[in-house]
Amino acid sequence: MPVIKILNEMSKEKNIQQQVDAEKKKEHTSILEKIRRRTGLLVGIVGLALVIFILESLLGSGASIFGNNDQMSVGTINGKNIDRNDFLTRVENQLNIIRQQKQSNDIDDATRAQVYDYIWQQYVSDMVIKPQYDKVGITVGEDEVYERVVAHPVPSVAQRLTDQKTGKVYEQLAAADGSLDPVKFRAFVQSATGDQELFVKQMEEDIKNMRYAEKYATLIRKGLYTTNAEAKETYKAQNNKINFTYVIKRFDSVSDSTVKVTDDEIQKFYSNNSYMFMNTETSRKIEYVSFDVLPSPADVDAISKESVAAAEAFKGKSIKEDSAFIAQESENGAINIQNMNKKTMIVRDSSIFTAAAGTVFGPYNEGAYFKIYKLQAVNSIADSARVRHILIGINDPQTQQPKRSMAQAKKAADSLLVLIKDKKVTFDTLVKTVSEDGGSKTNGGDYGWFDENKGFVEPFKNAGLMGTKGNISVVETQFGYHIIEVLDVSKTRHNTYKVAQIFKLIAPSDETNQAIFTKANQFAGENNNGDAFDKAVDTQKLTKRLADNIKESDRSLPALDNAKELVRWVYTAKKGDVNIFSFSDKHIVVKVSGIKNRGVLPLEDVKDEVRTLAIKDKKADMFTAEFNTKAGSSKNVTEIASKMGLEAKQQVDMPYSSHNVEGLGHDDILIGTAIGTKAGATSKFIASDNGVFVLNVSSITDSKIPEDIKMIKMQMEQASGGRADYEVYGALKELANIEDHKSRVE
């Protein structure tokens, strides 16, 4: 059958089927319409219930009908959300650069936190700072970037090309003196691909941003200037002096409890002075009780028995076996073997000074540890010695990169020792031509006299203090092999005692930790709201600790390291919420006791502070009225003081720039009043920081302003320019209304 005919037949069948479907749909629609008319009320009720259920769920979780924006954002800048995925992508790119630089995939928590901060500051720069560059027409050309990155690298570029482990420029980019070789670096930049190219581009971008910032800061500084009038006033403030007499009735002379303020007065003060309660940064406050995880008597007894068994086993170990046994038994596998004398001995048993090598002492309970000691050897050493040495090192002295193996270093040192003893070469010659200890070359390998307290490594010290004059030997240290000649030793000697130590940490068991957690968890469960928490703390006489001004970016709190999860919860909880958190040495039950968001704080959050200020305000009115009643129109401060039953005090030669009044302390209002009052005049009754006062200015010493005030102006402009460097950026960020929530994704 032709294809066209087949298609026509199929089309007819499709039309017939559509007609059948349409008839069925009409039938179904008719039935549904009847059901709707009969059950409309029921459907409405069910639908309403579903809407309420959904809204309750959304409102309870803080979600949005169109998606949880909080989960998709790490903050806002200038009202724009910072996308979570975009932020994390940038973080990972930066971490890859660091991995490339470190040649390691391991990123520690501190570095990761720094990267999060760095990426966030990039967003702030892109959205707050950089738009300002465009507004004022600042540009940075490619030639400028090339000059600072490649042609003549600035210090920050060289720093990025430095091995963090050695502190040296990477060997493949270093010149002979260890500095950055511009030719090698230029070749590296031109041939960079993949991660290396990304690394170079990141450097170029950072240098470009730095150059923008330099130009912008310079533009701001150049826009600031000091007028002649400002310079003269500044000179006067620094050099003019004033003498005055004052009398003050201090606010603290009357107890706050005797002054009553109503709720209306508190509300009025709050409304009239709302600017005083402006909070510029979001913070939280918590109260908590700590259930410290301490070892139980059973734990101590168990560790004591383990220590006794370890001490017995220690006795049967040879000196060669000691290090492996110490690593097996001691906390964190630490191997501690020290040389001590009678003054520095830490073993409490004095019989160690006469005991035989191999004697074990302890275990002793010494606070956090049970300690076991073994006397390995007793040696007679010189009180002091003088040696010289030749170092055959395992690392290159310039780059600190591996140069030879320990076996190769020993072979070279042994060969040189033979040449020295056969007198085929002198020690002095080898020090100058072979030794890889640059510090000793200047004096023939001689470091002078030293004793056992000198900061040399033990094998080096022992070669001299335990050697004899004229002896030459090869000694191994962590740096390689030394050829050491003993030049001289003191005639006086003393014994040293080589003591091996095992430390058994007295730590709580898992059972103890679980029991303490159970106790803390029960407390949290029974007191799961703010009121119950406070009541339980009082009833059980528990110690309540505080942590205030907690920022969302905080990663630790006082006495609470690694508190990121706690801080994250605090910023999702409501005031009065209670929760439990576990740390390495404690379990804590936490109550959110304060929430301070940006903006004017609610009256209920600052009511105590407002009450105190309202009382102070009321005292000011009371004291002013008292001055008016008792002193009347008197202008004599001494007379006013007498009528008020107060003491008149004198301030002599107070500089205009002072912020403190003798006998009173800090009080800018009183000082400002004194400076603004003419000589011979008496002020009004004025409320200040400390009370209500009146003062009389007796004299003012005017300093002569220099004819040439250029130096004063220059100093003022330098000071204002220095402030501008950070105050301008601070102001821009404040205007951007930044909300930083990056800790939610860390």
Claim to verify: residue 180 and residue 111 sit in the same structural domain: yes
Cis check for the bond before 363: say yes or no (omega within 30 of 0).
yes
Q: Give the pLDDT mean for 25-54.
A: 41
Q: Could you give the CA distance from residue 688 to residue 665 in angstroms, rounded to a whole number?
A: 12
Same domain, 88 and 196: yes
Region 411-419: mean pLDDT is 91
212 in the same domain as 79: yes
> Residue 512 in contact with residue 585, Cβ under 8 Å?
no
> Residue 397 has what pLDDT?
75
**Sign for the pseudo-dihedral over CA of 515, 517, 519, 525:** negative
Among 380, 409, 428, give the residue marking a domain's end. Answer: 380
- Over residues 609-632, the mean pLDDT reads 95
- For tokens 């002072």, the residue is 658
Q: 373-376 — which CB contacts under 8 Å span 24+ positions?
A: 373/346, 373/347, 373/499, 373/500, 373/501, 373/502, 374/314, 374/322, 374/499, 374/500, 374/501, 374/502, 375/497, 375/498, 375/499, 376/319, 376/322, 376/337, 376/498, 376/499, 376/500
% residues pLDDT > 90 (the chain): 53
CB atoms within 10 A of CB 214: 12
> How far is the C-alpha of 590 from the C-alpha of 601, rounded, in Å?
23
Report phi then psi at 112, rounded to 5: -60, -40
> Which one, of 455, 454, 434, 437, lies nearest residue 446 by Cα?
437
Average pLDDT of the segment spanning 596-622:
93
Total domain count, the chain? 6
Token pair of 454 as six digits: 């000198």
Q: Residue 46 above 60 pLDDT? A: no
Instruction: Specify which of 101-115, 139-153, 564-578 reaches the highest per-range mean pLDDT.
Output: 564-578
For every residue of 112-126, DSSP letters joined together read HHHHHHHHHHHHHII
Q: 204 and 133, same structural domain?
A: yes
Over residues 275-297, the pLDDT tens digits come to 999 998 899 999 999 999 999 99
- For residue 73, what pLDDT is reported? 86
Residue 511: per-residue pLDDT: 96
Phi, psi torsion values for 207, nearest 5 degrees = -65, -35
Residue 13 has pLDDT above 50, yes or no: no
pLDDT tens figures, 126-170: 999 899 999 999 999 999 999 998 888 888 888 888 876 677 788
Question: Residue by residue, what is the 3-state secondary structure of 25-62?
Answer: HHHHHHHHHHHHHHHHHHHHHHHHHHHHHHHHHHHHHC
Please give the pLDDT value at position 257. Answer: 94
DSSP labels, 646-659: ---EEEEEEETT--
- Could you give the CA distance from residue 312 to residue 360 in angstroms, rounded to a whole number? 8
519 pLDDT exceeds 80? yes
pLDDT over threshold 60, residue 39: no
Q: Are 313 and 305 in contact (CB under 8 A)?
A: no
**Is pLDDT larger for residue 742 or for residue 359?**
359
And the tokens for 453?
């307290």
Please tell me the pTM assigned to this model: 0.64
Weakest mean pLDDT among 93-107, 220-234, 696-710: 93-107
Which CATH number is 402's domain given? 3.10.50.40
Residue 445 has a pLDDT of 81
3-state DSSP assignment of residue 636 = coil
Could you tell me if residue 149 is inside a domain?
Answer: yes
Is there a contact between 351 and 413 (Cβ–Cβ < 8 Å)?
no
Distance CA 116, CA 92 (A): 10
605 is written with which tokens? Answer: 């959050």
Compute the residue count for the chain. 746
* Higher per-residue pLDDT: 23 or 478: 478
Report how far apart the first and last C-alpha atoms of the chain are (Å, whole number).
69
pLDDT for residue 649 is more than 60 = yes
pLDDT surpassing 80 at residue 529? yes
Long-range (24+ apart) CB contacts under 8 A made by 564-572 are 564/743, 564/746, 566/590, 567/284, 567/743, 568/743, 568/744, 570/284, 570/286, 571/284, 571/743, 571/744, 572/62
Question: 670 falls in which pLDDT band (50, 70, 90)?
Answer: very high
Same domain as 373, residue 347: yes
448: left (phi over 0), alpha (psi -120 to 50) or beta: left
Whether the CB-CB separation of 460 and 482 falls below 8 Å is answered with yes
**Token reading at 446:** 């001689």
Residues 476 and 374 in one domain: no
Quickly list DSSP for 501-567: EEEEE----HHHHHHHHHHHHHHHHHT-BHHHHHHHHHHTTPPPEEEEEE-TT---BTTB-S-HHHH
Q: Which residues does 335 contact at the CB level (< 8 Å), separation at least 6?
A: 323, 326, 327
For residue 312, the model assigns a pLDDT of 95
Q: Which residues touch 746 (CB under 8 Å, ≥6 apart)?
A: 112, 113, 116, 564
Evaluate whether residue 558 is within a structural domain. Answer: yes
Q: Is residue 723 part of a domain?
A: no
Q: Compute the CA torsion angle 283, 286, 291, 293 (nearest 10 deg).
A: 10
User: Which of 31-45, 137-151, 321-335, 343-357 is least confident?
Assistant: 31-45
Asked if 462 and 569 sit in the same domain, the reply is: no
**Of 114-128, 181-195, 403-417, which range is least confident?**
181-195
What is the span of the domain harbouring residue 39? Answer: 1-67
Instruction: Please name the residue that has the structure tokens 């501190």.
Output: 110
Question: What is the C-alpha separation between 126 and 120, in angstroms, rounded?
Answer: 10
Choose one of 328, 361, 380: the last residue of a domain: 380
Query: Does one domain contain both 637 and 691?
Result: yes
The answer on 173 and 266 residing in a single domain is no
Q: Residue 436 and residue 482: Cα distance in Å, rounded?
A: 10
Write 90-96 long-range contacts (CB < 8 A, 24+).
90/119, 90/122, 91/115, 91/116, 91/119, 93/198, 94/118, 94/119, 94/202, 96/195, 96/198
| CA–CA gap between residue 457 and residue 447 (Å, rounded) | 13
Helix H or strand E encompassing 146: helix 142-146
The answer to whether residue 91 is domain-embedded is: yes
Listed in sequence order, the DSSP H helices in 240-318 are 263-272, 297-315
If asked whether residues 462 and 399 sit together in one domain, one would say yes
Decide if 721 is inside a domain.
Answer: no
What confidence score (pLDDT) does residue 305 get? 96
Residue 173 lies in a domain: yes
Per-residue pLDDT band at 19 (split at 50, 70, 90): low
pLDDT at 438: 72
pLDDT number for residue 195: 75
- Judged against a pLDDT cut of 60, whether residue 676 lies above it is answered with yes
Is the distance from CB of 660 to CB of 651 less than 8 angstroms? Answer: no
Decide if 716 is inside a domain.
no
Last residue of a domain, one of 578, 597, 616: 597
Give residue for tokens 């059973």.
298
How far from 112 is each of 120, 163, 738, CA to CA, in Å?
12, 19, 22
Calculate mean pLDDT across residues 46-67.
Answer: 38
Whether 301 and 406 map to the same domain: the answer is: no
Would 585 be classed as within a structural domain? yes
Q: Determine the pLDDT at residue 428.
A: 86
124 and 85 fall within a common domain? yes
The amino acid at residue 723 is: R
pLDDT of residue 237 exceeding 90, the answer is no
C-alpha span between 94 and 119 (Å, rounded): 8
